[in-house]
Amino acid sequence: MAAIGKIREKSGLLLAIIGLALAAFVLGDLFKNLGKSNNVDKDKIALINGEKVGVQDFNRKVSQQTDLFVQRNKRNPTTEESYVITISEWNRTKREVIMRQQMTELGLLQSIGNMKPQISMDEFMSNIYSLTPNREVVRFFTGDYNGQIAQDQVKGFFDFIERGVNSENAEERSKALEYKSQWELFKGGLKDVLMETKYNNLIVKAYYLPKALADADFDDNSVSNQVAYFGVSYKNVTDEEATVTDADYQKYYDAHKTEYEEDIASRKIDYVSWVVRPSNKDIVDLRQQIEDYYKDLESADKRDVQYLVNRIGDNKYDSIWIAKDSLSVYIDSAAFAYEAGTVLGPWEENTAYHIARIMDKDMRPDSMRASQILISYAGAYGAKGITRTKIGARALADSIKGAISKDKGAFEALLVKSDDPNAVQTKGDFGWFKDGAMLAKINDACINGNIGDVVVVETTIGFSVIRVDDKLENTPKIRVAQIDLPIVFSQETFNEAYSKAIKFAAVNRTYEAFDTASANMGLGVMKSKYISDLAGGILGLKNSRDVVKWMFNSETNVGDVSNVFDFEDKVIVAVLTEARPEGIKTLDEVKDIIKPLVERDVKARILMEKTAGVKSLSQATEFNSSIDTAFVSFATYSLPKYAPEPCVTGRFASAAVGQLQGPIKGMQGVYFFKVLVKGSTPESKDIQYMQQRSASVFAQSVYPNQRDPQKVSSYTPLEENTEMDNNMFFFY
């Protein structure tokens, strides 16, 4: 909102309010921030295995992606969306560099002059015009990975660009340049995809499962042993009985600590906020303002109302005709009861004050149906390949109208004259359309005409010979000029909250002081999750990238308190509570996470001691359990009647027939089993099928997953073994 933007200009006023005593505090924090990147190469985003990623080149790519966002969404990206675009481009650039380096080393790319190694042009074009094109090509032309494209469709796209960029028609030239820009951007990404696909194909084709292993795999899946078993659930041990000691935690941690390794450093903050809401004085002032607007709207000449609304309202004037039950419930009935010129309101709705003036009243159909014969001319909007002059187009349209007026049946025959490419197929029929949905002149012609009338209407697309085919009955409609005034806080109210925050930050410069003061002042302390240095912000704080940059400032230490950060409707002060380096987490950091697992191990130890004397499966009833029997192979995923228990089912295949096995520690309890019958190996083995299946599973692990980009692929180990000096944090 415009009102929010005005509130940003506050620094000078606040320093006057807070006093010169705080100036050193504010400036000190500023100089601290300015000094954080003095040693950073200003021309280098990153160094990847010794290869420089330049700032200018990277920013150019980000700019291209931003332009594409604008083309697709018809608006500029928000601050948060811009950062997402930047990080996405960084991930793509990083991946491209690492993959290109690997493939260059393997000799899989072509070097041309001073250009970076890349796939050959023949290889690139073969993927464009292939009968089975790359799925990214399919998505580009159809919008769907599973779409269908024809070679003629691809050729037509490039022909349009080649023809259109030099077209004298401004619209066609603009569209061709837009398509060309999209294609150039896509082409770079497609080369990266094809390069990685080539690398993955090499890996997949190199995979081979030896026959001996395929034979063993076949047995694992085909040979089933009949097994009798029972389990004793950990629920048989109460939490009180299972006392966990520090030694238990340490033992589990020592055995599993590599499972809790962090690839990147992360940090956490606590913060307090002062939410800014309109004060009582703000409400009084806004009510007076809407009353003043009421008087202005009431006294304004009808011709000036549109200008007035656009100048002072938070909305724009809309001249559409409105049917009953379409306005706010606060004014809908009154609006149709009062005369044109009446001003309604003010009323409060959706955190804003509103007033509305009835501009016009009329009886109009809600929907109409019409047909068109379009006669275009050179220079009209969308007139591709039309050489007819405007005068000639008007004469032809009048001639067609005259012919139809004499013979109503001539309309269908004259459709061949239409410049609408779908006219013959649709018979020129618009179908039913709402009042206001068509071009204004066509809409008005249908409103004012009678069913069966034929009129000629001039619009931006040419001359339209319109036949009014049908209309619904007229209903009351009105046009309304509405002014919206958002209920927002004032500059003064924002300054008051900001001054409280800056005083808090100036006085409480340690974690202990922060914690004590927030408790004494009744300020709710919010806690962030662990945040990495390239995170877009803090969850719950919109556009909070600056907070992350402060957290990872080289001079910010645990216990340091921040300066004030201001957001759209709040100001905050933060304290850095944790700084976790990359690497294996400490026991204290994972203690809460591993607690249920340590408790499970303690209960397993207790149960294994209690069941150590079991000599027969028949003793299952002593432990509130029962014997189950099932045929289980080595590849069986889940133990029937229980759950996945790989440590138990894995022992079925190697156990001797008739021997009691147990107790065995599992995921849900401890188990006992006895193999009753050993399965036999089938005489016929489909070894080739097992090899093909294994190759298919391997291929799925190599190729990136579109639905799960985080899934480990062939690229993952390459990045893990890359030497990288990443300066992204200092630039973004």
Answer for the pair 573, 635: CB distance below 8 angstroms, yes or no.
Answer: no
Answer for the pair 470, 369: CB distance below 8 angstroms, yes or no.
Answer: yes
Q: Do 371 and 467 belong together in one domain?
A: yes
Residue 268 lies in a domain: yes
The CATH number of the domain holding residue 402 is: 3.10.50.40
pLDDT of residue 10: 40
Q: Do 268 and 235 belong together in one domain?
A: no
**If you count DSSP H runs as helices and E runs as strands, how many of each does the chain have, helices first?**
26, 21
Q: Do 603 and 672 belong together in one domain?
A: yes
Q: Do 172 and 246 belong together in one domain?
A: no
**Taking each helix axis from N to C terminus, what angle separates 121-128 and 170-206, rounded to the nearest 10 degrees?**
110
Rounded Cα–Cα distance for residues 722 and 454 (Å): 73
Answer for the pair 290, 485: CB distance below 8 angstroms, yes or no.
Answer: yes
Q: Which of 37-41, 215-219, 603-607 has the lowest mean pLDDT?
A: 37-41
Question: Which residues on neighbouring strands pair with residue 371, listed in sequence order?
Answer: 429, 467
Mean pLDDT across 37-66: 86
pLDDT of residue 8: 38
Residue 394 CB partners (closer than 8 Å, separation 6+): 375, 456, 458, 463
**Taking each helix axis from N to C terminus, what angle separates 491-507 and 23-34, rounded to the nearest 10 degrees?**
80
The CATH number of the domain holding residue 30 is: 3.10.50
Question: Which residue, 429, 452, 486, sits at the end of a domain?
Answer: 486
CA–chain centroid gap for 91, Å, is 15
Whether the predicted pLDDT of 640 surpasses 80: yes
Question: Which residue, 524, 553, 581, sits at the end of a domain?
Answer: 581
pLDDT of residue 39: 62
Backbone angles phi, psi at 253, to 5 degrees: -60, -45
Is the bond preceding residue 421 a cis peptide, omega within 30 degrees? no
Q: Which of 180-184, 510-514, 599-603 has the lowest mean pLDDT?
A: 180-184
Write the DSSP symbol of residue 657.
Answer: B
* Local confidence band at 114 (pLDDT 50, 70, 90 cut-offs): low
Q: Which of 11-20, 261-270, 424-433, 461-470 has the lowest mean pLDDT?
A: 11-20
Q: Do 458 and 495 belong together in one domain?
A: no
Q: For residue 392, what are its two tokens?
A: 């000639």
pLDDT of residue 716: 86
160 or 694, greater pLDDT? 694
Whether the predicted pLDDT of 597 surpasses 90: yes
Q: What DSSP string runs through 360-374?
A: EEEEEESEEEEEEEE
Q: Do 284 and 268 belong together in one domain?
A: no
Rounded Cα–Cα distance for residues 367 and 364 (Å): 9
The three-point CA angle 538-78-542 to 5° equals 25
pLDDT of residue 586: 92
pLDDT in tens, 367-390: 999 999 999 998 888 777 788 899
- pTM for this model (two decimals): 0.73
Give the residue numbers spanning the domain of 352: 280-365+481-486
Residue 566 lies in a domain: yes
* Local confidence band at 1 (pLDDT 50, 70, 90 cut-offs): very low
Residue type, 633: S
Q: Do 435 and 381 belong together in one domain?
A: yes
pLDDT of residue 113: 59
Residue 123 CB partners (closer than 8 Å, separation 6+): 194, 198
* Local confidence band at 707 (pLDDT 50, 70, 90 cut-offs): low
Q: Do 144 and 162 belong together in one domain?
A: yes
Q: Do 379 and 456 belong together in one domain?
A: yes
Residue 442 lies in a domain: yes
Q: For residue 394, what are its two tokens?
A: 């008007």
Question: Which residues on neighbouring strands pair with residue 274, listed in sequence order?
Answer: 571
* Local confidence band at 396 (pLDDT 50, 70, 90 cut-offs): very high
Whether the predicted pLDDT of 9 surpasses 70: no
Whether the predicted pLDDT of 544 surpasses 90: yes
Q: For residue 373, what are its two tokens?
A: 């014969």
Rounded Cα–Cα distance for residues 93 and 562 (Å): 33
Q: How many domains does the chain have?
A: 5
pLDDT of residue 13: 39
Q: Do 285 and 361 belong together in one domain?
A: yes
Residue 539 lies in a domain: yes
Residue 688 lies in a domain: no
Q: Do 334 and 401 belong together in one domain?
A: no
Is the bond preceding residue 663 a cis peptide, omega within 30 degrees? yes
Residue 712 lies in a domain: no
Question: Which residue, 581, 605, 623, sits at the end of a domain?
Answer: 581
The CA distances from residue 726 to 80, 86, 88, 257, in Å, are: 21, 14, 15, 27
Q: Do 371 and 461 belong together in one domain?
A: yes
Whether the predicted pLDDT of 117 surpasses 80: no
Residue 27 lies in a domain: yes
* Local confidence band at 313 (pLDDT 50, 70, 90 cut-offs): confident
Q: For residue 539, what are its two tokens?
A: 């969850």
- Mean pLDDT (the chain) is 87
What DSSP element (H or E) covers 356? strand 352-365
Residue 708 lies in a domain: no
